[in-house]
Structure formats: structure tokens, C-alpha cells
Amino acid sequence: MTVRDLLEDGTARLATSGIASARAEVEWLLAEMLGVGRFRLYLDIERPLPEAVARRFAAAVSRRAAREPLQQILGRQAFCDVSVTVTPDVLVPRPETERLVEWALETLPWRPARGRPLVVDVGTGSGCVACAIASARPDADVVAVDLSPAAAAVARANAESLGLAERVRALIGDLLAPVGAARADLVVANLPYLPRASLAGLEPEVREHEPALALDGGADGLDVIRRLVADAPRVLRPGGRLVLETAGGAQATAVAALLGRAGFHDVAVRRDLAGVGRFVGGTAHAVGAGQVIGGGGAA
């Protein structure tokens, strides 16, 4: 079969399975197998391909037709200026979360006189946020925390593959518990925020192939966020910032109110790529003396 044959057959199969971006996705799959960019597929579209490639491509298309996420089939996802490994143990990094990283980087101070800035990424999953921040700020140290040992292992592997292992440390534990009494300049988090009743209505890619632990935010979606907002002032330095991703809209407004009641000031909501208020941040007055990181297990 030729490149054209595989592209057309794959597109038809994915379209039949209800995938709106069928053509683009088969291009990604075939380009990955051939080790070329998507554009180069069309430079020699009548080129016949080996039967082994056709079989591998058909298998990949079958997985996608069964609504397995494209990123899990490819095994990687680009995020900000890094590329991270993606497995079924972690959420697929979303484009909107890049805006969370942008805001986090804006708020992270440059403070060479006080030593290296410390960032805590809570609910790190693949480690995409932690690695993107560390890549953009070579002067900063990042602690990446996840309740799931499997997710923390993925984050650690991504930090190692990106050459960031010396500055991105993956810990296993519940929210800020593994951080102990360390003092952070920034706490950033993309926590589970979906109301439990909404999970059944998610797309199959999410509902059947991504970890429920990273999605289920309880009855109103705020169970985990409430706990982090309550504990973050303990860890943050004076003037340190907490920056969160939410479901947007009314939930973002509710989270902003949570920050206000918890004593945060300069609380603000930022919009995502679609113009929806999704990200919430605030400044806290930290308490307690600074100590070294401790109290959690290393991933």
C-alpha cells in the first residue's frame, strides 16, 4: 500500500468511529512510524510502504478507533517547550494548561540574593508542569508531588529524560504533606476538579483511558482544591503565590472566593485560550520557620 492508501483508509476508519480530527490524527500516526514530519508525507504520497509498516499502522489505527487517546498511542506529548512521555497512569497534558505555566512563570520571583526559588507542583501527573517550569527557569528547584506512585514514577522519568532530574524531585504523597515544612515561592496545581456526577458523560478517551484519580473532584469538584487552599499558606513564603487550574466559569469564581476566605490577597482569575476564566491565583502570608524538604517518599 502507498502512503496515500494508508492515509485514506485510516481517515475513513477514524471518521466512522466519530473522531472529528481523523485526517490529522492518521497523519500523526503515520508520520511517527516513518520518523518524519506530517508535511513530508505528502512529498512522496504515492510511495509504496513495506507490509510491516502497514500492519503496525493498522494496529495503531485500531487502537485509536477504540478511542484510546492519540497521545498514549504515540507515547509522548509536546507541552510548552518540552516533550513528555504519556502513559495511562497520567492525564494527557492539555494545551490550556500551558497558560497555567505561563502565569506561574510570571509570578515566580528572581531572587539570587535569597538563593534558588522553590516551586511545588501538586498533582504533577506526567510532570509536564514541573518540567516546563524547570526548563524555563534554570535557577529554580521544583518539587513534583503526586498521590499516585505510578504517576510520580512517570514524572521522575520525564525529568530524567529531559536532563532536569537534579532540579525536579518527584515525591509520592497527599497534596503538600511530602513537602513537610519547606518554604516555597510558588505552589502550582492542576488538581482533580470535575464533579463526580459528570465523569460518566466524558468522552471515551478520558472516561476509559485516563486515571479517575486525576479527574474526580468530589460532589462539586472542589474537594481536593479546598484542602490545598487551606494548607498552602503553611508552605508559602511571605509573598508566595498559589496558582490553580479549575473547570472555569462558576467554579473559578468559587475557587477565588475560597482563596479570599483562606487569607490570600491579590486574588485574580485569568482566562484560558477560549476566553473562559479558568485559572485562579492569590498571594499568601506564610507561617512557620523554613526547613528542609521531608516527610514524604521519593518516587
Q: Give the three-class secondary structure for 187.
A: strand
Ranges assigned E (strand) in 94-163: 118-122, 141-146
Q: Are strands 236-245 and 265-271 parallel, antiparallel or unpaired?
A: unpaired
Cα 138 from Cα 134, distance rounded (Å):
6
Pick 289 or 86 by higher pLDDT: 86
The answer to whether 156 and 299 have CB atoms below 8 angstroms apart is yes
Class of 76-298 in CATH: alpha beta
Q: What confidence tens digit (pLDDT) does each residue in 110-163 have? A: 765 567 899 999 999 999 999 999 999 999 999 999 999 999 999 999 999 999
8 Cβ partners below 8 Å, 6+ apart?
none
User: How confident is the model at residue 115, as a pLDDT?
Assistant: 77
Cα 134 from Cα 111, distance rounded (Å):
15
User: How confident is the model at residue 172, as a pLDDT?
Assistant: 97
Is 90 exceeded by the pLDDT of residue 286? Answer: no
Nearest to 140 by CA among 101, 88, 173, 191: 101
User: How confident is the model at residue 295, as a pLDDT?
Assistant: 35
Cα 31 from Cα 39, distance rounded (Å):
9
> How many other CB atoms are found less than 10 A from the CB of residue 75?
11
**Residues pairing with 168 in the sheet:** 142
> How many other CB atoms are found less than 10 A from the CB of residue 55?
10
Cα 228 from Cα 205, distance rounded (Å):
28
Is 90 exceeded by the pLDDT of residue 195? Answer: yes
Name the band, by pLDDT with cuts 50, 70 and 90, for residue 297: very low
Cα 234 from Cα 241, distance rounded (Å):
12
Looking at this protein, which amino acid is placed at residue 95? Answer: P
Cα atoms in the 13 Å half-sphere on the side-chain side of 240: 22
Q: What confidence tens digit (pLDDT) does each residue in 243-279 have? A: 999 999 999 999 999 999 999 999 999 999 899 999 9
Q: What confidence tens digit (pLDDT) does each residue in 10-26 have? A: 999 999 999 999 999 99
